[in-house]
Amino acid sequence: MEDRYVEVGGANIRYWAMGSGPPLLLIHGLGASVEYWQQNIEPLSQHCRVYAMDLLGFGRSDKPRIEYSLHYAAQFIADFMDAQGIERASLVGNSMGGLISLQFAIEFPERLDKLVLVDNAGFGRELIWIFRLMTLPVLGEALYGPNERGMRTLQRMLFYDKRFVTDEWVEQNLEMARLPGARDFFLSVLRYGVNLRGLRPEILEPLLAQIPGIEAPTLIVWGAQDRFIPVAHGHIGHRMIAGSRLHIFDRCGHVPQIERAEGFNRLVADFLKGGDCRGQIADCKLQIAPLQSAICNPQSEAIAMEYEDWEAQVPDAIKDDPLWQMEAYRLALFLHDLAWKDCESLIKDIRGREIAKQLIRSVGSISANIEEGYGRGFGRDYARFLSFSVGSARETRGWYYRGRKLLTEMVIEHRYNLLGQIIGLLVTAIGQQRR
């Protein structure tokens, strides 16, 4: 692919371009570059005029000393469009690029056609530990390196399938990380947006307040095994953006545009053309279909019962309670019954008996805290008990991890994803109760 350069705000910006048709901008994440889109540009250019740029401060673009902000980043995208003579475009943003795309959608709605968010920041605080540690002075500089061992370790965190971490890929990323000014710009951007606890509240809270106002057609894509930003954030975003679609690739990490390139390209192309992407990608763990049918596959050993069959046998005394209308509560009860059967498998091995005791206790606490909080009315007191439920859900996920050697891989993955949906629903509900 040919390197091109354009001046944007006085800085030289590298970009790649291909194809003709409606403009499509591909926006990479923190510390990345246009190379992270090299498997997507040509296929997507069959339908669009595709632009992939090195964001200011990254890749081979200039790295000036600036006061970075999310507004500045969104304005940079608008300025890049102006430099290319683009009035309106669709955006695909991965990780930090998705965060910038969200801000662009809020600030420049009249210039946005469609929005694709890929394992993006901006739906919650949680973030991989190494980025949080790198916000500390001195330690951040030491962890950045860059060196071959550190870069390989970081890249292995990025992917579910470690075969993508080739020597060539590591060397390519090392070359970019060693460019003059790369470390300082990376750390300044990271420290602007992140602290030891994750995404800074002063950035996240205004964003969360404005995200529900996004009206552009939106597709959210996530890797089920993302270690950088948890898949629960995808469910949160899906519920915050009206009419959005959610597609989760199983056995996939933080960069599905690389790890699931073929399926990703078909999915995005279909979305941009206005089609319905449900059921077209075979390796999608959770489709865009309604939640209940998405988590139920009668052909899969991962599910001990179908949701519909389970719901049919729930007594009316439970269904007649107004709390039954809460989706997170229904799924928490469903998970409890699945966990009961999982415990039957765990207790067959003496090593799993203590895990089974802790698992059934923690999973029961998810729905029990919802019940307790609901009885206290609405508002902050209710939100407090929903927070307890989130903690129990995370503890449950931890006990499933500890028992993974005694349960099948498909069971573990299904439970992780179901817990991710429950956590996403609860986090959304907590935000609503605290307003």
**CATH 3.40.50.1820 residue window(s) in the chain:** 4-286
Residue intervals of the chain classified under CATH 1.20.1440.60 are 297-434
Q: Which of 47, 235, 254, 414 is catalytic?
A: 254
User: In terms of pTM, does the model score above 0.85?
Assistant: no
Q: What is the enclosing helix (H) or strand (E) of 273?
A: helix 261-273
Instruction: Give DSSP secondary structure letters for 132-189.
Output: HHTTSTTHHHHHH---HHHHHHHHHHH-SSGGG--HHHHHHHHHHHTSTTHHHHHHHH
CATH of 297-434, one of 2.120.10.30, 3.40.50.300, 1.20.1440.60, 2.60.40.10: 1.20.1440.60
Say whether 226 is catalytic.
yes
Is there a catalytic annotation at residue 235? no
As a whole number of angstroms, the distance between CA 110 and CA 241 comes to 17
What is the enclosing helix (H) or strand (E) of 194?
A: strand 194-195
List 45, 61, 90, 95, catalytic entry: 95
Verify whether residue 82 is a known catalytic residue. Answer: no
Element housing 106 (H / E): helix 96-107
CATH of domain 4-286: 3.40.50.1820
Active-site residue, selected from the candidate residues 54, 62, 79, 226: 226
Helix (H, G, I), strand (E, B) or coil at 6: strand
pLDDT, tens digit only, all 435 positions of the chain: 899 999 999 999 999 999 999 999 999 999 999 999 999 999 999 999 999 999 999 999 999 999 999 999 999 999 999 999 999 999 999 999 999 999 999 999 999 999 999 999 999 888 999 999 999 999 999 999 899 999 999 999 999 999 999 999 999 999 999 999 999 999 999 999 999 989 999 999 899 999 999 999 999 999 988 999 988 899 889 988 999 999 999 889 999 999 999 999 999 999 999 854 433 333 333 433 333 333 333 333 334 467 778 888 999 999 888 889 898 999 999 999 999 999 999 999 999 999 999 999 999 999 999 999 887 777 788 888 999 999 999 999 999 999 999 998 888 888 988 898 899 889 888 877 776
Give the CA distances from residue 394 to residues 114, 182, 289, in Å, rounded to whole numbers and listed in that order. 33, 36, 25
